Chains A and B, each alone.
Chain A
Amino acid sequence: MRTSLNEIQHIEKHLLGDLPKEESLLLQAKMALDPDLNEKVTLQAETYAVVRAYGRKKLRTEIDRVEKKLFETSKYAGFRHRILNLFR
């Protein structure tokens, strides 16, 4: 892998807690001295957050679709009546 990808892999291990303690400390020391590296680590942490937000958004779409199916199609009329009765 090219150098930049190795660095990304290293940062990932650090962020996920998969680096040995000494290596994590060394990386933190480098970050303190190197603003670019520090920025990369921060941005990478945010990137995982973006991936999670993306995942949730997609998941919510799937859930909405299933909910709609259960509450709007005739196949699930029995289920729907059972639920609606709870709120009468």
Chain B
Amino acid sequence: MYKMEQANSDEIDGLFTRLYLEAFPAVAAFVSKRGGSLERAKDVFQDALIIYYEQIYTVGAKVRISDKAYLLGIARNLWYGEVKESQFLSDLDGLDAEKLADKAEPEASEVKLLSFLEVAGQKCMEMLKAFYYDSLSLSKISERFGFSGKRSATVQKYKCLEKVREEVKQRKLEYADFSE
């Protein structure tokens, strides 16, 4: 299976375009046969792509069947509700699974925090995403974000974690004040 070494926007675009062309017709046929609409097929496929991405990139799972078969399998499970998204996504060892954003819709406070971080801490969020969500290697991250080496990338990662953690704390305090 092809794995992106560097998940830049063009490559992501190329990956998802290929996956749509290869696998969406089968998923759409499956949903249509069971009386689902095109919109429903698109929703199921989007969720399946997110699970696919997180399994392969975040978790680093090895997939031994074709992308098409794998995506169709996820989509069937999503359709039948046999496998909840969270079951696919809960194996980030040790992280508090319930606390993770497994809910389909993030809470209002989470949405506010995210919008804030997108503006105020975008560089940090992009870097943390590259580390923890895209699981890029330290050397790729150094290259992309312009660090002198792995060590300085590591230090910067922890600085960003500290910064965002402080932000999470502040937002929680504000939210607690607000809801009293």
Residues of A with C-beta under 8 A to B16: 62-63, 66
- CB-nearest residue of chain B relative to A62? B12
Query: How many chain A residues touch the partner (CB < 8 A)?
Result: 44
* Closest CB in chain B relative to A56 CB, distance in Å: 6
Rounded to whole angstroms, the CA-CA distance of A52 and B58 in the bound complex is 9
Does any Cβ of B come within 8 Å of A29's Cβ? no
Interface range on chain B (Cβ under 8 Å from partner): 35 or more
* Closest CB in chain B relative to A6 CB, distance in Å: 8
Q: Judging by beta carbons under 8 Å apart, are A50 and B164 in contact?
A: yes
Interface bits B118-129 vs A (CB < 8 Å: 1, else 0): 100000010011
Q: Which residues of B are interface residues toward A (Cβ below 8 A)?
A: 9, 12-13, 16-17, 20-21, 24-25, 28-29, 32, 37-38, 42, 46, 49-50, 53, 58, 92-96, 99-101, 106, 110, 113-114, 117-118, 125, 128-129, 132-134, 155, 158-159, 161-162, 164-165, 168-169, 172
Q: Which residues of A are interface residues toward B (Cβ below 8 A)?
A: 1, 4-5, 8-9, 12, 14-17, 39-40, 43-60, 62-67, 69-70, 79, 82-84, 86-87
